[in-house]
Structure 1
Amino acid sequence: MDATVDHTMMRVEDLDASLDWYTTHFDYEEKARMEMDTFTNVYLGPEDVHEEGAVLELTYNHDDRTYEMGDAWGHIAVRVDDVYDAYEELMDAGVEDYRDPDSCGGRYAFVTDPDGHEIEIVQRDHGARWSIDHTMVRVEDADAAIGWYVRTLGFDLVRREEMDDFALYFVKPEGAAEEAMSIELTYNYDGRSYDFGDAWGHFALMVDDLEDAWETLTARHAEDYRDPESCDYVYAFTRTNDGHEVEVLDSWPDAAE
C-alpha cells in the first residue's frame, strides 16, 4: 500500500493561544482550515515543508471540554540545525524551560506547548527548520508492534536504538523521503501498560485511492474501526495493535473528527 504520513493530530483547549504559540515560536503557517458547527481543524507547518513532509493538525472542539494527556502517545519531534541555538532561542522568547539539551546529553531537548503536549527538538541536517521529524508512541510488545506496522501498513524499520531499559524503533513508509515523518515506537522493558487519554488524536496516511487502500488494509486484517462508508468516503480509521488511531485519506477532508 503506497502511503505518505501526512499529519499528526492533537486536541487543544484554546485555539487562538495554540495558533499564536506555533506560528510565533516555530514560524508555522496555516496550510488549511475546516470550520464546522462543533469543531475547527487547522493544519500547520513550515512554509517550505517538503512535499512528503508531515504537518500538524490542531483540533478545537467548541464545547470547552478539557483533555487528559495519558502516556500512550509521547511527543512530536521537530528538526533544527543546532539544538542548543534553537533551545536558547525558545527560552529567550519566553517558552517554558522543560528539558534543556544538557539534561538530554546534548543530543536533543524538550519543550511543551500551551496544552502540555511534549515537543522534542532534534538536530538534523535535512528537512525544513521546525518540520516534524517523527511522532512517538509507546507500545507494549515491540515485536508485535513492528510486525503490525511492517505487515499491515507496509512500513520499513529504518532505525533502532536499544538501551538498558528501553528500546526505540523508527518506522516509515517504504521508499519514503528522508524528510518524511517517521513513527517512533518506544518499548519499555518493564512490562508497563499505557493510558491513552484524549489530548492526542491520531496520525494520518495520505493514499492515492481511499477505497483501494481500505481494501488492502482489510485483507491484512486491520481493525475495521471507522470504514470509508461511515465517513462519507472522505476518510477512514483503523487502529494499531496497541490501539493508536490511524486515519487514512486521499485528500484533506471537508469534515473531520
Structure 2
Amino acid sequence: MDGTVDHTMIRVSDLEESLEWYQTHLAYEEKDRFEGDGFTIVYLGPEEMHEDGALLELTHNEGEDIEIGDAWGHIAVRVPDGELEEHYEQLMDQGVEDYRDPESCDGRYAFIKDPDGHEIEIVKRDPDEGALWSLDHTMIRVEDADEALGFWTRKFEYDEVKRWESDTFANYFVEPSDAAPAAMSVELTYNYDGRSYTQENGWGHLCVRVDDLEEDWEQLQVREAPDYRDPESNDNMYAFTKDPDGHEIELLERDPEADSLFPF
C-alpha cells in the first residue's frame, strides 16, 4: 500500500466565496473540478506542489447548510521557519479574521478560519518540506488513543513519528513509513477527560493512496477495517472505510498519467 495522504475533503456552503478565499489568502490554484448532479468538487493546492503533497478538496452540495462538529479539528499549512509573524500579518492586512495570533500561541504557530469556520493552523517548517501554504497535517479528535493509533499502525502500516503530551491532552502524529518530507501527516488529538465528539457535515474525509485498489482493499478486510463503501459499490473507482471514531477514509488508486485528478 502506498499510504500517502492524497487529499483532505471539507464541505463548504458557498463554493465561489471559499475559492476566492483560498486563492486570495493562501495563493491556492484550482487543480481540477467535477460538476455532479447537485454538487461540485474542486481540488486546490499551491502552484508548485510536490507530487507527494496533499490536495485540499472543497465539496459544495446545493442547498446544504454547513455545521462544524468537534470531531473535526483543523488542517495545518506551512510557512518557512522564521516567517510565521510576517505571513500572519499579511493575512491580517488582507482582512482575514484574527483568531489565534502567534503571540497567543507562544510564537510556535497561529490559527485562522475560512468562511465556513474551518480552522487552519499555520506552522513553521523548513522550506525543503513543501511549498508555502502546502498542507502539513490534518487533525482529527479521537476518543481512545490506543484504539486510534492501533487502527492507523495496523490497518495502514503508519508509523507514529511524533507525540506531544500535556496535562489534559495528547497529540499523536502518524504517517506512512518513509513518507516524503512534503507529504501530509495525520494528527490524532486525544483529550483525557473522556469526552465524546460530534460528526457534522462540514467535515468530509481523508483520502489515502493505494497501489492496487482491489488488492489493498482485500488486505484491509483481512485486517478487519470496516467495510463502509467497497470498491464494487463505487464502480471500482475508489472505496471508503472508517476509523474507530467514524472518520471516513477514502482509498484511491492515483494514476499520475491521467488527464483528470478524478477517477470518474
Q: 2:218 aligns with which of 215, 219, 227?
A: 215
| 1:182 matched to 2:185 | yes
Deviation, structure 1 residue 29: 0.7
Q: Secondary structure at the match of 1:215?
A: helix
Which structure 2 residues correspond to residues 1-257 of structure 1 after superposition, within 5 A? 1-62=1-62, 64-81=63-80, 82-125=83-126, 126-251=129-254, 252-255=261-264
Q: Any idea what the Cα deviations from partners look like across 1:193-252, whole Å, max 9, x if unmatched?
A: 100111010000111211111011111000000000001101100000111000001134
Q: Any idea what the Cα deviations from partners look like across 1:7-61, whole Å, max 9, x if unmatched?
A: 0000001100000000110110111111112211000000111111101000011
In the aligned structure 1, how far is the partner of 2:205 from the partner of 2:76? Answer: 15
- Specify the code of the residue in structure 1 equivalent to 2:75: I
In the aligned structure 1, how far is the partner of 2:191 from the partner of 2:87? Answer: 29
- TM-score, normalised by the number of residues in structure 1: 0.97
Could you tell me whether the CA contact under 8 Å between 1:234 and 1:253 is conserved in 2? Answer: no
In the TM superposition, structure 1's runs of 4+ consecutive aligned residues that sit over 2 Å from their partners are 251-255
Could you tell me whether the CA contact under 8 Å between 1:72 and 1:137 is conserved in 2? Answer: yes
- Specify the code of the residue in structure 2 equivalent to 1:245: E
- Specify the code of the residue in structure 2 equivalent to 1:44: L
Could you tell me whether the CA contact under 8 Å between 1:34 and 1:254 is conserved in 2? Answer: no
- Which is worse superposed, 243-252 or 162-171? 243-252
Q: List gaps (5 residues or longer) in structure 2.
A: 255-260
Q: Secondary structure at the match of 1:32?
A: strand
Q: Any idea what the Cα deviations from partners look like across 1:67-91, whole Å, max 9, x if unmatched?
A: 2101001000000012111110100
- Specify the code of the residue in structure 2 equivalent to 1:105: D
- Specify the code of the residue in structure 2 equivalent to 1:253: F
In the aligned structure 2, how far is the partner of 1:65 from the partner of 1:44? Answer: 21
Deviation, structure 1 residue 2: 2.4
Aligned-residue RMSD, C-alpha: 0.9
Q: Secondary structure at the match of 2:40?
A: strand
- TM-score, normalised by the number of residues in structure 2: 0.94
- State the match for 2:258 in structure 1: none
Could you tell me whether the CA contact under 8 Å between 1:138 and 1:187 is conserved in 2? Answer: yes
Q: Secondary structure at the match of 1:203?
A: strand
In the aligned structure 1, how far is the partner of 2:31 from the partner of 2:3? Answer: 20
Q: Secondary structure at the match of 2:147?
A: helix
In the aligned structure 1, how far is the partner of 2:199 from the partner of 2:212? Answer: 30
